[in-house]
Each structure stands twice: as structure tokens, then as C-alpha cells.
Structure 1
Amino acid sequence: MGQKNLIIFLDCGDTIIDEGTEIRDEQDTVIHGNVIPGADMMVKTLAERGYRLAIVADGSAQSFKNLLTQHDLYDCFETLIYSETIKASKPSVRMFKAALGAMDLSERDCSRIIMVGNNLSRDVKGANQMGITSVFLSWTSRYPKVPADDLEVPNYTISTPLELIDLVEKLNHQLDVHVS
């Protein structure tokens, strides 16, 4: 299967991993956590179908490496961008620009990228500022579900990780039609 036009940036906490199940060590590094039901299947399915995936997440590299390796998801991602190494946090454009750079993309590619996350003020706002299509995963009740301003209004909202698969196929199809 060929590479798809649509590119997917994903948050990790409460997007792939259930933050309520995270266990941390003395250094505050996450050493264990459970996936949100269906999230591992979602990541693996999208990777198998030829989508380019990146993690864009606030936190420490080791935490995410532990979590993603534990669930056999680490290798599904082309690049992993963490606030710890970038020295910025979402919604900072530096996080998104780092992911673009790591994937050999430019800001012209923003129209074919989606950012999927659980946080309106970080993931959705950050994506919208960059002209990246924002997808709000409203799975958790830990964060607000009502946008504080226009920049926090998502382009799409899903309530479970598995819903992303159909949405991605639909958006990718629209791109293909647009490209050809």
C-alpha cells in the first residue's frame, strides 16, 4: 500500500494513553500506563494503511518511550516530538514546526496534516494557529470540552480513538480527489 497524502500528528496522554492509569517513578517519569480502549488498534491500523504518524506531546521523552514501547506502538511513529527536548509546550508553534521539520515537510503541507488531541487549549489551538486541521478527542472528562475562544474550536470532534480511522480515510479521500 502506498503512502497516503494525509499526515497525522497525535498527542499521547488521554489520546493514546489513559492518563488516569499512569504510574510514575521518583523522577516523575511515567513507567507504566494503559492505552485508551481502541487506541493501540487505531495507531497500528493507520500505520499499516500507510499513513505517516508523529507524536507531538508535552512531557519527557523517556515517559513516552516507556509507554509506547510497552504497547508496541513506538515503531509506528516516524518522529516523536516532546516538549522536554523542544523546550516549548503546545500550543507553541515550535512544537508543530519541529514535527514538520523532522518529517521533511514545510508550512505549505499544513493543509494536509491533522492534529489529534484531548486538549482544546493546547492541541486544538496549536493546530488551528498553524492552519493544521484540528481533531478533538473528547474521551476524557479531565479537561474542558467547551472552547474558550475561536482558536480553540476544533474542525472535528470524535469521542473514541477508533472513530479516527473512518475520519482519516474520509479526509484522505478528500485530499486525493483534490490532488488529482
Structure 2
Amino acid sequence: MNHNTTNISAQKKLIVFLDCGDTIIDEGTEIRDDHDIVIQANVIPGADVMVKTLAERGYTLAIVADGNAQSFKNILTQNGLYDYFTTMVYSETVKASKPSPRMFKAAIGALDLSEQDCNRIVMVGNNLSRDVKGANQMGITSIFLSWTPRYPKLHADESEIPQYTISHPLELIDLVEQLNDKLA
């Protein structure tokens, strides 16, 4: 029997796109080198448990983040989270930044999905003007993580209104389960 078929049946229908800075990694703890590459940073309390739990429960996880690939590789590897993601899409390699549809389309393509799958994708991020607006314009469910004091918590216009708001990474686990159940 092919092991891949067993894996796919256990896989959840909902796909989770995650930003990295102030969504998984605490930007306030970043240490950068002379080339502005993040060489060290800590996870937001609970974010590592959130990532591992969602992955263990069969969710496909993707990083969709603005920044340099090497920064994310450094901090996600250091915090033991790198291998939990099926794909990682960075503005450096896509040559665009969120809210550009190119960022989301790159992640959708990397997962062998199509834009018809947007209704079963959630985008979780800390930035209303990038993560939420970008997800909303693609028809992806937007989840605003309002954990950080570093970014605005009030939307500039209707395009930045999140469908869901959570204040702590661990809240994402139950929300994702509820949204996945709605798809079933």
C-alpha cells in the first residue's frame, strides 16, 4: 500500500498560511547581522505549540512572509519549526510583498492548489494592510493575530477588515478546527 494515500486521507481539508514576524516569531527579539539578515529571534509564547499542534493534527502549513529567505530559515530552524511547513513563500524570492496577489498565488501554486481552493485557505497574520488585505482580495479567510503592539489594530478601510481576530497564537488551534469542520 502506498504510504502517501494514507497520509492524504488523514490530511485536513483546511490549509493554513501563516505570516512569520509577530505571528510566530517575536520581532522585538530579532538580532540582525550586517546584511540585515535575522540571525536569531524567539517565538511568541505559544506559537511553537500552535505550529506543532496544527501540523500533528494533519493541517498543511505554509509560510507566506515578507523578508529574506535566509532570515526565516535561520529563525524557524533555530526554534525547531522549519520542518513543519510544506512550503515557504518569501517576498525576496517572489519579488513582491503582501498584499500582492503574487505572494498568495505563489503559495497556492507551491501546494499544487488552484485559486478555486481559496475558500479552504486561511491566512493568519499580524498586519491588517498586508496579511488581511491580501487574503481578503484573494477570497482567502483572513485571521488577524492582534498580539503585537507594533502594528495598527484599526483597519484603514474595508479591505483591511479581518474575518476573525485572535489575540494569542494558541487561540488559532480551536478556530482552525472549527473552520475545518465547516468545510466537511
TM-score for the superposition, normalised by structure 2: 0.95
Query: Which residue is equivalent to 2:60?
Result: 52
CA offset at residue 79 of structure 1? 0.2
1:105 aligned onto 2:113? yes
Moved more, 1-10 or 83-92: 1-10
Q: 2:174 matched to 1:131?
A: no
Specify which of 84, 90, 93 is matched with residue 98 of structure 2. Answer: 90
Looking at structure 1, the residues matched to 94 and 106 of structure 2 have their Cα atoms a distance apart, in angstroms, of 8
Residue identity matched to 2:67:
G
* Alignment partner of 1:31 is 2:39: yes
Deviation at 1:31, TM superposition (A): 0.3
Corresponding residue pairs, total: 176
Q: Could you tell me the percent identity over the aligned residues?
A: 78
> For 1:34-54, what per-residue CA distance to the aligned partner results, in whole angstroms no more than 9, with x for missing partners?
000000000000000000000
Separation (CA, whole Å) in 1 of partners of 2:67 and 2:150 = 17
User: By how many angstroms is 1:29 displaced?
Assistant: 0.2
The alpha-carbon deviation at position 165 of structure 1 amounts to: 0.1
Any gaps of 5 or more consecutive residues in structure 1? none
| Aligned residue identity for 1:125 | K
Secondary structure of 1:56's match? strand
Query: Does residue 75 of structure 1 match 2:92?
Result: no
For residues 54 and 159 of structure 2, what CA distance do their matches in structure 1 show?
Answer: 27
Structure 1 runs (4+) greater than 6 angstroms displaced: none
Q: Secondary structure at the match of 2:142?
A: strand
Residue deviations 1:95-114 (CA, integer Å, cap 9, x gap): 00000000000000000000
Which residue identity lines up with residue 20 of structure 2 in the other structure?
A: C
Letter in 2 for 1:45: T
User: How far is the alpha carbon of 1:64 from its aligned partner?
Assistant: 0.1
TM-score (norm 1): 0.97
**Partner Cα separation in structure 1 for residue 157 and residue 14 of structure 2:** 27
Q: 1:52 is matched by which residue type in structure 2? A: T
**Once superposed, what is the RMSD of the aligned Cα atoms?**
0.6
